[in-house]
Structure 1
């Protein structure tokens, strides 16, 4: 990962936009859509800036950066402190596809594929889950139990499958159905190499779901980085005899 993806709240905040023409107009629409206030030059309180100039872009960017702003220069990734991704908007769900400025066309193509997959009411599902947070905490007081229940419901074919257009209407019914606690589960991933791009689809899916990752110390961080950030890592010489609750993985190189 060459950039840190973040979602910045600019609602009601000042954003500098230097430039004119189609590129500047596109950035202005993006800023306004996110609730920002566009100004043509530095003002106190501004924290980010966009520069859309054919000539003088480097100087303008340097001046704004000297005032402490993070700067995006249109079509000049070498001058950018941040880049703007292609966006899939299912508010409050937002999906951003970035290439670090390498190819806006590729980001657009990926966005279009994702757009075709996601139902228009995905945002309604997010809103329904947010409204049910209190009920979910009451139903599953332990955070780990709550997360496993939500993961199971949102899995493909689950009660709240995000690709099902009617999932938002079933949140209440899902909470009302008795659910047995899942038994501890241990899965094994045998690696054939150190390149994370060589992971099988099954291995990539398990890494994205696991609660605990037990691994041979020789397994490289590039592989472990594919696991959920909050999954607990356990360097070990052998798989656990009694895995903890939830999904655990044992990762080692094939021998």
Structure 2
């Protein structure tokens, strides 16, 4: 219980840092809304015939895309703590060794939930309506947070290995842009050229977007959700040990 309380305290510390860095709040609050509005009103007529029809398609995709991008801030915040010596101070305190990292990841999960709910509210204001039971929203949120937890381990590894916070953002966004744009976030899978269709279909971002669409608007859910969970498990199994090994090695050198 003490370790859990320490984790919650450090998670709250990470959230309070948003007051000193309002640009981060803008990144995961205003930026996804701009993405949604731009793609909706610029490409809606060309892709779906109308903005109303495209909204049902793109809203879950933008939610997933933003979820993936926000995980970069796990690595950014961790690298900031490492380079400024904050993590060394945590190690000197009588707290659980895993509490600082767990608090950072937990704070990121809160940010993820905020982003999902914010985009849903904006979507409803633009005219989006659920085509599935309302419980699908909670199931979608749970699925997205599980996947975000897995993606956080990749960003923990980037945060440990990068030289400074600026390089975390550079490496993180550079790696994530191809993964998110080479997916079915913005266009249906069947409209893509055959030679990249198989790659896009296997992309975890595509699978997660398809599951989110099914839970919000109706459609296939079980298979894409199952494969999304499989991808989340694979990412966690591969990157969690690597991240912890790299973090312990860096702390041992400091």
* TM-score class normalised by the smaller sequence: under 0.3
Normalising by structure 2, we get a TM-score of: 0.23
Q: Which has the higher contact order (CA 8 A, sep 6+)?
A: 2
Structure with the bigger percentage of helix: 2
Structure with the bigger percentage of strand: 1
